[in-house]
Structure 1
Amino acid sequence: MLIRDARPWGGASVDVVIIADRIAEIRPHDPTSAPVGDTVDGRGRLLLPAFSDVHVHLDSTRVGLPFREHTGGAGVWEMMLNDRRNWRDAEIGLTERVAGTLERMIANGTTRVRSYAQVDVDCRLEKFEAVVNAKEAFANHADVQIMTFPQAGILREAGTVELLEESLKQGADVMGGIDPSQLDRDPARHLDIVFGLAEKYQVEVDIHLHEPGELGVFSTELVLERTRALGMQGKVTMSHAYDLGGVSESVSRSIIDRFAELDIAMATVAPAARRQLSLVQLAEAGVRVGLGEDGQRDYWSPYGNCDMLDRTWQLAFTNGFRRDDHIELALAVATMGGASIMSHESERVAGVGDRPGVGVGDRADLLLVDGETPSSAVMDRGRDRTVIHDGRVVADGLRVVGR
Structure 2
Amino acid sequence: MRTLVVSNVRPWGAEPADVVVTDGVVSAVVPAGSASAHNVAGADPGTHVSAAAGVEHVDGGGLLALPGLVNAHAHVDKSWWGQPWVSYGGEATTQGRIAHERAERDRHGIPGVEPTTAVLREFVRHGTTVTRTHVDVDLGVGLRGIENVRTAAAALGDAVDVTVVAFPQDGVVRRPGVLRLLDEAAAAGATHIGGLDPASIDRDPVAQLDGLFEIAERRDVGVDLHLHDRGDLGAFQVELIVERTRRAGLQGRVTVSHGFALGELPAGRQADLLDDLRDAGIGWATVAPVGTAPLPWRGMRKRGIPVGLGTDGIRDLWSPFGDGDVLRIALGFARLHGLRTDDDLTDAVRLATSWAAPFVGRDVHDLVPGAPGDLVLVDAENVPDALVRVPPRRLVVSRGRVVARDGVVLV
* Same fold? TM cut 0.5: yes
- Residue 229 (structure 2) pairs with residue 220 (structure 1): no
- Most deviating of 334-343 and 222-231: 334-343
Q: 2:303: which partner in 1?
A: 285
Aligned to 1:378: 387
Please tell me whether residue 366 in structure 1 is matched to residue 375 in structure 2: yes
Shift of 1:94: 1.8
Letter in 2 for 1:147: V
Say if 2:75 is the partner of 1:57.
Answer: yes
Identity %: 35
How far off is 1:399 after superposition?
2.3
| Pairing 1:87–2:105 present | yes
Distance between the aligned counterparts of 2:106 and 2:375, measured in 1? 36
Distance 1:380 1:275, change over 3 A: closer
What SS is found at the alignment partner of 1:145?
Answer: strand
What count of residue pairs does the alignment treat as equivalent?
393
Cα separation, 2, equivalents of 1:244 and 1:360: 36
Say whether 1:109 aligns with 2:127: yes
Correspondent of 1:97 among 106, 110, 115: 115
Unpaired segments of 5 or more residues in structure 2? 41-49
Name 2:194's counterpart in structure 1.
176
Aligned to 2:345: 327
Q: Report the equivalent of 2:39.
A: 34
What amino acid does structure 1 have at the position aligned with 2:28?
E
The 8 Å contact of residues 186 and 219 in structure 2, kept in 1 or not, is answered as yes
Q: How does 1:19-168 map to 2 (within 5 A)?
A: 19-30=22-33, 34-35=39-40, 37-90=55-108, 94-168=112-186
**Superposition pairs for residues 147-296 of structure 1, below 5 Å?**
147-296=165-314
Q: CA deviation at 1:274?
A: 4.2
Counterpart amino acid of 1:243? A
Q: CA deviation at 1:339?
A: 2.1
User: Which residue type is aligned with residue 4 of structure 1?
Assistant: S
CA separation of 1:321 and 1:160: change in aligned 2, threshold 3 A: same
2:8 is the counterpart of 1:5: yes
Unaligned runs of 5+ in 1: 348-356
Residue 140 (structure 1) shift: 3.1
Of 127-136 and 143-152, the range deviating more from structure 2: 127-136
Aligned equivalents of 1:132 and 1:372: distance in 2? 37
Aligned partners of 2:307 and 2:351 also within 8 Å = yes
- One-letter amino acid matched to 2:139: V
CA contact (8 A) 1:243 1:276 kept: no
Note the aligned Cα RMSD (angstroms): 1.9
For the 8 Å contact 1:291–1:337, the answer to whether it is kept is no
